Chain A
């Protein structure tokens, strides 16, 4: 059993206030303890990851809070290297006996396998660019404050004869990693999110925002937006499936293009499971598509180092429609004769690396301008249950959800029943007519990225559902 942290709430002080993380020095102490304990084992090299989370989430449905949760936890993950072999063991117990047991477990796992001739020595000390993504007001938001905001949103729905469901979450996390070659890195951030679905009869609509800073969005404004769009979605009509011009709001764009992220991994190309195999350096997408991986972008979150402890680098992945660069873990870089880019996953793993901070270059249009420029098309709020049908042509299927609207002669004229789409992302990114400014988008299928709204022609809807 681990000792109670001195800095935490005792039972006498417990309240619905947000929990606190350990000070960084405590994580540093855990890293140092593991490295010290490992010295007396067969481990030739040792790497430690310490991750701590303190999250809270208030969930509401039918205009009332029905679930309201908080969690606090810390894990220590240890990778050892011995005789050309490596393996990982993870525990959430931080007393010395448990840490020693995890080291031994890691060594035991490592010894069970053949030698890996490609295994690299652990990286030495690195320099990292500072990022500041810890916002105290986010960390301090209490359950009562979340409940009051939810109450206001639900009251609005009640007043409008609607039904609201959603979440309001806040939290904080921190990570530290170190290794026996002197590397040490640490990072902490806060996160907050408000998501709301408003139903009016059979119609529904949705709004969501996500930020390190809880003051960056107004839950009530999101509630108003979802409420207004839900009202607009009442009395939907059925249209025939087929190719349509679509105006994809940023969340819809995100949840589609998010499926491209692993295709930019050098290991994915090596494994021949990327859609970029045999396509690097060719005009694959339209000239208005430029994609960068940039962990330092003001709208991004996440640590400035990767799972191997290397600093994340900004990488231009697609330049005006041409895939130019990939991201590399240390092993993938060595195999390809390239420099690692700071995108590796914690070892050992079979996937190598991936860009986790995608930023699409935006344009100067807006959703309103896109609507105004459209003779006949569909405005898409959100997509749902997107899955890959064809990995090389990058054909995705999925449904529209929570607000699909017909645009005629430059204005929204009504709601439409939801469609299923089967659409190649490669084709889609060749058919982009207009781009909005890139924003931090949040959906449900992909992790958050910085993407614009898009107007796309010839988007393939194959079937229609019953609502």
Chain B
């Protein structure tokens, strides 16, 4: 018998599935999501991330430190395709508040300059941002929360955590449908993340915008891909690789690429 629990966190609907007696594990997993959102959201002015962005330097707690270090390591190995310093570019593109509150057709600010790839230094637990550098950890923070929640549920039995585009499964076999396709993937231990421009999009002026910034241009990425789904060992890793793949980077993992014309391509040994 599979127990199910849903709640809302990090701007999305979160679904927990557990093959076993949940006891207090559902509440613990939900509390972990809320705790991490309170720390890592750029939309909460009192979050640890917002305080870092405001002050430019901070003695970070273990979660902010771990996510920031992971994001910077991903920036290095992807040669800048994945970049947590896209905060200003997102603001200029119009994503300046939680997506639910976003004005669908607001002021066009793209004439303002925005740059990515700014300096971030970590010395022990002290994080220092370069001048005019601010961090956005949105996607990777959600992947981190998914992995943490899966670890909490895993103590009881096989489980799955699904938070919008980030999903992790531990134990068991879980048939997972990919939205926008007819595909169903059976996932055992592992994670799935989907990055794309078919959601979280809005208009500014005459142009449509989306939240996936190409750090090379500082603007929403221009690509014929609609969305990319990646399967990796952890949700954090899947989130990183999905963004890299969407921006045209090479990744050597199972993946599904959906183009704007509806073409679906399976790659990386899938299918």
Our verdict on whether A and B bind, yes or no, reads no
